[in-house]
Amino acid sequence: MLKVVIDTNVFISATLTPRGNPAKILKAWQEGKIDLVISPQILREIKKVIFRPKIKKLSSWTDKKRDELIEDLAKIAILTPGSLKLKVVAEDPHDDKFVIAAAEGKAGYIVTGDEHLRRLSSYKGIKIVSPAEFVKILKQRNKL
């Protein structure tokens, strides 16, 4: 099974564009086609951002659907401690949490729309890809 860390911006995009690549990736996880790796820091960030008034206004998701996603992430995703000390993303140290979760959870991919992370392209065998690139990977592996 593919293990993947999904950046907060991909989760948010999934709530805003129900037919876009981020939504396809979220659906693949919900259908058990990929394993999602997450840390407490990532979960907190998703919860904070997904409930921002601006995001809620632009999204068709209800508060109940947002709560269910947070609950599912907490229950179903592979939770890492997020305690590894790494300084990888010099331009945006807040993005290190995604690399840390991937390293701790032995994920093969980080899926992100963030340029700072994508510029790395990989970290110790962990591929850092855009949602569009990851959808292609899923299609190649018959996961979509």
Q: In a structure prediction context, what are the per-residue pLDDT tens digits for the chain, which is 144 residues long?
A: 999 999 999 999 999 999 999 999 999 999 999 999 999 999 999 999 999 999 999 999 999 999 999 999 999 999 999 999 988 887 888 999 999 999 999 999 999 999 999 999 999 999 999 999 999 999 999 888
Q: Tell me the two tokens of residue 40.
A: 């407490």
CATH code at position 27: 3.40.50.1010
Cβ atoms < 10 Å from Cβ of 126: 20
Give the domain range for residue 10: 3-140
| Number of independent structural domains in the chain | 1
Distance separating alpha carbons of residues 136 and 96, to the nearest angstrom: 25
